Amino acid sequence: MLLHKTNITILRATSPQSQPNFTILRRNFCLWSMKKDPDLESALSRNRRWVVNNQIKNIILRYPNNEIPIETLQKKFKTLDLQGKALNWISKYPSCFELHQNRIRLTKRMMNLVHQEQTIKDSLDPVFAQRLAKLLMLSFNNTLNVIKINEIKNSLGFPDDYLIRIVPRYPDLFRIVNESGRRSSMAIELIHWNPNFAVSEVEASALRKGLEPNFSCCLPSSWVKSLEKFHEFESVPYVSPYSDPRVLVEGSKEMEKRNVGLVHELLSLTLWKKVSIMKFGHFKREFFLP
pLDDT over threshold 50, residue 5: no
Average of pLDDT values for 155-177? 92
Asked if 188 contacts 174 with a C-beta cutoff of 8 angstroms, the reply is yes
Give the pLDDT of residue 17: 52
Give the pLDDT of residue 60: 92
Choice among 10-24, 123-137, 187-201 with the minimum mean pLDDT = 10-24
Q: d(Cα 239, Cα 261) in Å, to the nearest integer?
A: 7
Most confident of 88-97, 127-136, 225-234, 280-289: 127-136
How many C-beta neighbours within 10 Å does residue 97 have? 23
User: In the chain, which residue ranges form alpha helices assigned H by DSSP?
Assistant: 38-61, 70-76, 86-91, 108-138, 146-156, 162-169, 201-209, 224-234, 253-269, 277-281
Give the pLDDT of residue 86: 86
What phi and psi, each to the nearest 5 degrees, are found at residue 33?
-135, 145
Share of the chain above pLDDT 70, in %: 87
Q: d(Cα 159, Cα 27) in Å, to the nearest integer?
A: 48
Asked if 262 contacts 215 with a C-beta cutoff of 8 angstroms, the reply is no
Average of pLDDT values for 92-118? 92
Q: d(Cα 203, Cα 212) in Å, to the nearest integer?
A: 8
pLDDT over threshold 90, residue 78: no
Give the pLDDT of residue 136: 96
* Torsion angle (degrees, nearest 10) of CA 152, 213, 253, 243: 60
DSSP 133-187: HHHHHHSTTSEEEHHHHHHHHHHHT--TTHHHHHHHH-TTTEEEE-SS--GGG-E
Environment class of 73 (CB within 10 Å of its CB; exposed 0-12, middle 13-18, buried 19+): buried
In sequence order, the 6+-apart residues with CB closer than 8 A to the CB of 12 are 20, 22, 23, 24
Environment class of 189 (CB within 10 Å of its CB; exposed 0-12, middle 13-18, buried 19+): middle
In sequence order, the 6+-apart residues with CB closer than 8 A to the CB of 266 are 135, 138, 241, 275, 280, 287
pLDDT over threshold 80, residue 282: yes
Nearest Cα neighbor of 241 from 216, 273, 268 is: 268
Nearest Cα neighbor of 264 from 288, 236, 230, 241 is: 241
Asked if 257 contacts 203 with a C-beta cutoff of 8 angstroms, the reply is no
The single-letter code of the amino acid at 245 is P
Query: Which of the pair, 282 or 8, is modelled with greater confidence?
Result: 282
Q: d(Cα 135, Cα 273) in Å, to the nearest integer?
A: 14
Give the pLDDT of residue 9: 45
